[in-house]
Amino acid sequence: METYKKIRRGEKMTFTQAEYKLKAFMRDMGFVGELPHPSKEISESNSNGFWLLKTITGSNLAIVSEEGKVELL
């Protein structure tokens, strides 16, 4: 399992880092209980370092920017 590390300027965010950002954001927003799990195989990233996190069924969960900002979908 990949450990969390700070994203340096110019480095692309990994899936694990994007997943952590999503879960931390959801907890901060007051979500309780089991959170949805994004699928590494189905989620997508682009050349700018943004992640579109998707569930195993293909439903969109959130967009995580390269700066770590989260937008729930």
Q: Global pTM?
A: 0.82
Residue 18: CB atoms within 10 A of its CB come to: 27
**Residue 7 confidence (pLDDT):** 53
Spacing of C-alpha 40 from chain mean position: 10
Q: What is the DSSP string of 19-56?
A: HHHHHHHHHHTT--SPPP---TTT-EE-TTS-EEEE-T
- Under DSSP, the state recorded for 15 is H
Tens digit of pLDDT at every position of the chain (73 positions) = 444 455 556 678 899 999 999 999 999 999 999 999 999 999 999 988 899 999 999 999 999 998 889 999 9
Residue linked to tokens 């965010």: 13
